[in-house]
């Protein structure tokens, strides 16, 4: 029974701690998403690489839940601390948040499982010296697998397009792999799962994929050695083949309506070569900025846990007083792994200064906090001060540190 109760307390602590953080991150993600969408439509509209790089700002979003700003800034306290109160007061809110994460995770796993199940029976052919999976369905060519990459090409494209044209399609898919786009989409899905209560993230996936496709098109054109006109014609040809088979427009980037396809063709028409050295420098600068942001967030956030040197006393009627850490308290009350040491006269003087009149008390000590107002485990003893046989006493206690108590401490 004790183990079950400890487990319940740990689960309750974990749900409070993470639902508070992730809820704040979801709120901030709305603001960041608005900024990113505004930048890609204005200042960064014609810079495809910066437009794609700005999405990297979302890497830090899941780590913004422990900022000191929420507690130390008066405006932030008024605007955001309400969520912490709600999560602590209403179990259905914090457990509901985790059920939402679970449901979103199940959906994501099921989606990837269905792709794996679809790929399993597909025949494999060697095309231009590379293994390619051939599917009968008129779907857009795509690549699956974060580590074991599999390029899938529809049979109609394989049979009606030349090996040279297919080589460009393969290059396009391999470019996605080399640029890490499959990992980008995976991390974005994880972000949408953790912050599921912000549906705008899931809705904006189309813009992220659009920007990655724009970058991939530019890199593929330059690597292939073809001009943008030939590349555009290849897209139109593949679109035509797949449209005849499926009665809807599609290309190897996955457009599913004419407006998207038209916008992509216009971008390819306006393509201009880029300097590799400049793009490398830009990528390095973006990486440095992201690392600096992580360092800044870590510096401006609370640590994993904070030891609380104060001592709390609670009488039999539930009234509590917090005795703040100070040299006088350290002299009156101390402890080690097995015993509590109390100087009766000094401790009673401290209680008098705090207006504590009862002599029968629970004394809580050795606590830690994850965030202000969100406590962790601690130790406690029950004492009757009037019955102490001498002025300085040594009381044995059971130290709760370790085991269940440390699970939440290090999360």
Domain residues of the chain, as ranges? Answer: 2-299, 306-410
Q: How far is CA 60 from CA 73, 216, 227, in A?
A: 21, 24, 38
- Alpha carbons 389 and 148: distance in angstroms, whole number: 73
CB 383 within 8 A of CB 361: yes
> pLDDT class for 264, splitting at 50, 70, 90?
confident
Whether residue 254 is predicted with pLDDT greater than 70 in this model: the reply is no
Q: What's residue 377's pLDDT?
A: 65
pTM above 0.75, yes or no: yes
Using CA atoms in the order 234, 236, 242, 243, what is the torsion angle rounded to 10 degrees? Answer: -170
- Nearest Cα residue to 320 out of 308, 311, 329, 333: 311
HSE toward the beta carbon, residue 10, CA cutoff 13 A: 16
Q: How far is CA 411 from CA 10, 14, 102, 114, in A?
A: 11, 8, 19, 33
The structure tokens listed for 24 are 């704040």
- Helices 2-41 and 205-224 cross at an angle (nearest 10°) of 60
Whether residue 253 is predicted with pLDDT greater than 50 in this model: the reply is no
pLDDT digits (tens, 9 = 90+) for 83-136: 999 998 898 999 999 999 999 999 999 999 998 898 889 999 998 889 999 988
Strand partners for 314: 320, 362
pLDDT digits (tens, 9 = 90+) for 9-22: 678 778 888 999 99
Cβ burial, residue 75 (10 Å; 0-12/13-18/19+): exposed
Listing from the earlier edge strand, what are the strands of the sheet with 333-335?
333-335, 339-343, 392-396
Q: Where are the beta strands (DSSP E) in 240-376?
A: 306-308, 311-315, 320-323, 333-335, 339-343, 360-365, 367-371, 374-375
**Through-space distance between the first and last CA atoms of the chain, rounded to whole angstroms:** 24
> pLDDT class for 36, splitting at 50, 70, 90?
very high
DSSP letter (8 states) at residue 373? T
- Alpha carbons 113 and 102: distance in angstroms, whole number: 16
Q: What's residue 391's pLDDT?
A: 80
Cβ burial, residue 194 (10 Å; 0-12/13-18/19+): buried
Dihedral (CA of 402, 403, 404, 409) sign: positive
How far does CA 233 lie from the centroid of its chain?
Answer: 40
**Which of 243 and 352 is assigned the larger pLDDT?**
352
Q: How far is CA 364 from CA 313, 346, 383, in A?
A: 6, 18, 11
Whether residue 184 is predicted with pLDDT greater than 90 in this model: the reply is yes
**Which of 322 and 27 is assigned the larger pLDDT?**
27
């Amino acid at each position: 029974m004790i183990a079950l109760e400890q487990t319940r307390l740990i689960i309750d602590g974990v749900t409070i701690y993470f639902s508070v953080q992730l809820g704040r991150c979801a709120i901030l993600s709305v603001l960041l998403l608005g900024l990113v969408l505004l930048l890609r439509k204005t200042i960064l509209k014609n810079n495809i690489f910066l437009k794609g790089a700005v999405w990297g700002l979302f890497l830090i979003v899941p780590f913004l839940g422990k900022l000191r700003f929420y507690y130390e800034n008066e405006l932030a306290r008024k605007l955001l601390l309400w969520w912490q109160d709600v999560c602590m007061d209403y179990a259905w809110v914090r457990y509901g948040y985790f059920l939402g994460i679970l449901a979103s995770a199940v959906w994501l796993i099921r989606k990837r499982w269905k792709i794996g199940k679809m790929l399993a029976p597909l025949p494999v052919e060697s095309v231009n010296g590379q293994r390619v999976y051939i599917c009968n369905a008129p779907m857009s060519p795509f690549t699956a697998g974060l580590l074991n990459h599999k390029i899938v090409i529809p049979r109609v494209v394989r049979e009606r397009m030349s090996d040279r044209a297919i080589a460009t399609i393969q290059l396009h898919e391999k470019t996605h792999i080399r640029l890490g786009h499959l990992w980008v989409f995976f991390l974005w899905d994880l972000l949408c799962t953790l912050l599921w209560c912000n549906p705008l993230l899931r809705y904006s996936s189309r813009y992220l994929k659009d920007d990655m496709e724009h970058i991939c098109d530019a890199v593929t054109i330059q690597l292939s050695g073809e001009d943008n006109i030939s590349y555009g014609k290849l897209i139109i040809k593949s679109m035509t083949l797949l449209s005849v088979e499926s009665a809807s427009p599609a290309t190897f980037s996955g457009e599913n309506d004419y407006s998207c396809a038209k916008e992509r063709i216009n971008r390819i028409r306006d393509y201009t070569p880029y300097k590799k050295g400049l793009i490398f420098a830009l990528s390095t600068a973006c990486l440095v900025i992201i690392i600096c942001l992580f360092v800044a967030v870590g510096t401006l956030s609370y640590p994993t846990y904070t030891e609380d040197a104060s001592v709390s006393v609670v009488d039999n009627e539930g009234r509590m007083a917090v005795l703040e850490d100070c040299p006088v308290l350290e002299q009156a009350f101390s402890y080690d792994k097995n015993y509590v040491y109390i100087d009766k006269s000094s401790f009673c003087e401290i209680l008098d200064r705090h207006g504590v009149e009862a002599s029968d008390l629970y004394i809580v000590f050795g606590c830690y906090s994850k965030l202000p107002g969100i406590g962790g485990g601690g130790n406690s003893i029950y004492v009757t001060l009037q019955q102490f046989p001498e002025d300085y006493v040594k009381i044995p206690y059971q130290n709760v540190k370790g085991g269940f108590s440390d699970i939440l401490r290090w999360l």
